[in-house]
Structure 1
Amino acid sequence: METLLPVYTFSPLFRPCFIAGIIAIIRIQMSRLNQKKLKKLAKKVWGNIKTVLLTIRRKLKLIIALILLFAVVLFLIVELFSVLLIKKLGWNYEPAYLRIIKGYTSSNLVGGRTEYHSWGSWNVSNYSGRIANNCFDIKYNFNSYGARDKERSKEGQNRTIVLGDSFTEGWGVPQDKILAADLEKLSGKEYLNFGVSGSGTGPLNEYVLYRDFASEFEHDAVLVGFYPGNDFKDNDPVAWGGSTTVYYRPFWKLTEDKQDIEIVYFAKQEEGKFLPGLEPENRTPHFKIYQGAREFSAFLNLLVVLQNYKISLSKQSATQFAYNLEVSEDAKQATLIAYDKFAQLIGDKKKYIFVIPAASDVFYYLKTGKAKVPQFEEFKDSLTSQGWQVIDTIDAFANLPEDKIPEYFICDGHWNYKGDQLVADYLHKIIDQ
């Protein structure tokens, strides 16, 4: 008897489902086999990788140790070379690790400059600091009364008071090589340095400084530096604009007939006020990081020092000449009145004004064939009529070989220690001989 299977067994849908199931079972089995093989292979590969990594790690430790040793040796060689070369170039720099050993700390004159005295910018007594910028890196020390000078008594014979701005103070020059120190060595006489940098030191600042303080020191002569580049503007309230209310310093105000000046102050006097920008707390994290790197690397400072020897000034590039007196008539008149008051205050003592040229002035002077500027010669004649002996030091530089002139300036146009020595020799021949 024929057996009849259920109809659904032979349904067209059954066959593909059955085949698909068989294929799925086969794939699952194959997958399990492949997974075992893959795991075994992966384990073997990872074992090989670990072996290689361990080998590399051992060798890497040795390589790193050798690199660090090489870096330390290279650092010491470069630092030693940098320190010696800086000294050879006549700069007064020591990296922080040497200063720490000697007990000297540096703060870039933060908290070292004040501006609350009647004459404006002055310095904190017994302060030690440092100025480091793109042109130089120099130690600064102020004595017990705030001058960049050795300690002086108020009594003494055959002494000269020296006043002026940053050139006279010795901007960027080691203290034992500034102008006053050089003059003292050459003459054997005392030259008391009251030159001061800051927010701009002009004739009125120097007059008030002498009147209210420097004149207390016994002396026989007064030597004042005059820089035409900014001394006409340093006490001009018009030139300062809105900044007059920021800085406590003397400004002039001409009378209606322009025959006299009144000394005026626009900012409020605050005892102990620091020069704006040099307050102890006014240091950003970025500045501290930058300064810290400079503090600890003689090589970084060597790069700065070398910029001093890259002055690109020449006859062709010099486009400004401070002696042209491109200032207002009021500024010229007020400056002459200030110097006249100064001369009267000094009285019968010898009084000298030495004219200060910047690097650009020297090259412009050469560019024009050492031509004298009539209006500046007239200005000097007016000073002479007041009783001043005026000494223009531009010829001290202009008589040098032109390719040697940059060696006497730092990169911002101030004199370096060689420039100070050159001017000291020039002045000494006139003043002391």
Structure 2
Amino acid sequence: MKKLKGNILALFIGCIISILLLEFSLFLLSNYGSLKIDLPTYNFDNRRLYWEEMDTVFGIWHQPNRSYRHIKQCLNVIYNSNSYGSRDKERERESTNNRVIVLGDSFIEGFGVAENNRLSNLLEDSTSIPHLNFGMSGNFGTTQYYLLYKSLASKFSHNAVIIAILPENDFIDDDLEIGKQIYARRYKPYWKGVYPNYKLVYFQDSIHKSELFEVEPNFLRITLKNFTYTYNTISYVKYAYLQSNIKESKTSSLGAMLPDYFNFTTEQFNRMKYSIKAIKKIAKDKSVMVITIPNLADIMKFDKMNKLPLLNSELSTFCKNNNIEYLDLLPLMHQHPKEYWHKLYLECDDHWSDYGNLVACQLILNKLSYYEDWVNNK
């Protein structure tokens, strides 16, 4: 019995030492190496998820009046949501002033950068025109842009809408067949059918089945996320594994490659333009502008191909036919000095850096006709 107790104690001590060694190894890799995970905060300031699937119409959103600290190797940022859940300062629903609604994913939300340094704030500071930010992280696609605009953003008075598209994943985020593989435990809306006869379906069929739905904070999950490298590494590896499985699949929806700036099916583009047209229909006579955002890999691929991607011509034609202004940031950011391309993006993440947001702001101000009066009068 004494020997058994000794063996159990030795096993327990061995497990503790192994866990500590694992944590230390992951600490080194994530702080000084190439492991790009979220880092522990070592406090309980983050008492629940910041990105939760909580809205039955468009899915993922923020709890109102919530604060969240996000730490990675190259960033330490606090996100704050207002009374209706947007990462933005408080806004009145009604205003007699010109205002711009800005729709998009994590690039627009300002993932990894302080609120004052992201695109919508820079546009507002430059022009004194309020830019209401409705950007959302968490695999948020154009179907969700439309649903968010219809159910929430359009309720705020405005005279213009910016729709920011990230081709790297917006086609993926709106594809039901891909969603079944990579977002099987998520609550996400999709267009199902053949263009233009779509119906809206949700996967899962109930928001309560989502892995990102919380009635009350999951204390164990929050503790592990806030205090361990191991939990954050497992989450990172799990997502990377799901993505690698998708890349290896050859479903009828995908073909051999994942869709992006340079590769997409007709049906994938049809779903995108259907959502944009639906936003335009609600906006009526308001100015609607579409911008496409490249990541660093897109700029480098464009440099090698030396020709505009198919998406550029397809969106140009579509927007022209629907009285929508279109701006592709890919060729414009490619014109930036080559040695500065990497500075447009965070060192430990694929999103825009402060500098990238600033460059995007300057390009938009100088290229979109909505800002022409500001440019002429500055």
Same fold (TM over 0.5): yes
After superposition, residues 67-86 of structure 1 pair within 5 angstroms as none
CA distance in 2, matches of 1:334, 1:122: 22
Structure 1 residues 417 and 276, CA gap change in structure 2 (3 angstroms): farther
Aligned with 1:351 (options 283, 288, 292):
288
Name the counterpart of 1:114: 52
Q: What is the distance in 2 between the residues matched to 1:331 and 1:133?
A: 33
Instruction: State yes or no: 1:197 paired with 2:134.
Output: no
Q: Which residue of 1 aligns with 2:359?
A: 422
Q: Is the 8 A contact 1:260 1:337 kept in 2?
A: no
What SS does the aligned partner of 2:173 have?
A: coil
Q: TM-score, normalised by structure 2?
A: 0.73
Alignment counterpart, residue 181 of structure 1, candidates 101, 121, 146: 121
Residues 284, 227 of structure 1: alpha-carbon distance in 2 compared, 3 angstrom cutoff? closer
Q: Is it true that 1:397 corresponds to 2:333 in the alignment? A: yes
Q: 1:220 to 1:375 in 2, by over 3 A?
A: closer
Whether 1:289 and 2:227 are equivalent positions in the alignment is yes
Please tell me whether residue 388 in structure 1 is matched to residue 324 in structure 2.
yes
Q: How far apart, in 2, do the equivalents of 1:208 and 1:165 lie? A: 13
Secondary structure, aligned partner of 1:194: strand
Output the CA distance in 1 between the equivalents of 2:264 and 2:220: 34
Q: Deviations over 1:191-211 (max 9, x none)?
A: 00000101x111110000000
Alignment of 1:245-284 (within 5 A): 245-255=184-194, 258-270=195-207, 275=212, 280-283=218-221
Asked whether 1:235 is paired with 2:171, we answer no
Q: Tell me, yes or no, if the aligned pair for 1:321 and 1:364 is still in contact at 8 Å.
A: no
Is structure 2 residue 82 aligned with structure 1 residue 143?
yes
CA distance in 1, matches of 2:224, 2:278: 46
In structure 2, what is the Cα distance between the partners aligned to 1:207 and 1:247?
Answer: 19
Contact (CA 8 Å) 2:316, 2:326: kept in 1 or not? yes
| 3-state SS of 2:199 partner | strand
Please give the secondary structure, in 2, of the residue aligned with 1:283: helix
Deviations 1:367-393 (A, max 9, x none): 233x11245412331133122111111
After superposition, the Cα gap between the structure-2 partners of 1:280 and 1:428, relative to the gap in structure 1 and judged at 3 Å, is farther
Residue-by-residue CA offset, 1:281-338 (whole Å, 9 max, x unaligned): 352765443369x9xxxxxxxxxxxxxxxxxxxxxxxxx99321x2332212222222
Instruction: Give % identity.
Output: 28
Q: Secondary structure at the match of 2:219?
A: coil
Measured against aligned partners, the alpha-carbon deviations of 1:72-107 in whole angstroms (never above 9, x if no partner) come to xxxxxxxxxxxxxxxxxxxxxxx989xx9xxxx632
Q: From 136, 156, 174, give the equivalent of 1:217.
A: 156
Give 1:405 deviation, angstroms. Answer: 1.4
**Whole-angstrom distance in 1 between the partners of 2:165 and 2:54:** 23
Secondary structure of 1:263's counterpart equals strand
**Which structure has the larger Rg over C-alpha atoms?**
1
Cα RMSD for the two superposed structures: 2.9
Shift of 1:394: 1.8
Cα distance in structure 2, aligned partners of 1:332 and 1:216: 28
2:71 is matched with 132
Code of the residue aligned with 1:400 in structure 2: it is H
Uncovered stretches (5+) of structure 1, i.e. residues with no partner:
1-94, 295-319
Instruction: Look up the SS of the partner of 1:353 in the other structure.
Output: strand
Residue equivalent to 1:155: 94
Match of 2:62 among 119, 123, 132: 123
Q: For this pair of structures, how many residues does the alignment match?
A: 302
CA contact (8 A) 2:41 2:226 kept: no
Q: Which runs of 4+ in 1 moved over 3 A?
A: 242-245, 268-274, 276-280, 284-292
Deviation of 1:400 (Å): 1.7
5+ long unaligned stretches in structure 2? 1-39, 233-257, 373-378
- SS class of match (2:261): helix
Q: Could you tell me how far 1:276 is from its partner in structure 2? A: 5.8
- Superposed CA offset, 1:9-37 (max 9, x none): xxxxxxxxxxxxxxxxxxxxxxxxxxxxx
Post-superposition offset of 1:183? 0.3
Counterparts of 1:386 and 1:136, CA distance in 2: 40
Q: TM-score, normalised by structure 1?
A: 0.64
Displacement of 1:136 after TM fit?
Answer: 2.4
Preserved CA contact (<8 Å) 2:48 2:222? no
Match of residue 6 from structure 1: none
Check the 8 A contact 2:315/2:326 in 1, yes or no: no
Distance 1:284 1:116 in 2: 18
Q: What is the deviation of 1:241?
A: 1.7
Residues in 1 aligned to 2:181 and 2:310: alpha-carbon distance in whole angstroms: 33
Q: Structure 1: how far apart are the matches of 2:279 and 2:53?
A: 22
State whether residues 358 and 413 of structure 1, in contact with CA within 8 Å, keep that contact through their aligned partners in structure 2: yes
Distance 1:264 1:196 in 2: 20
Q: How many Å separate the matches in 1 of 2:354 and 2:275?
A: 30
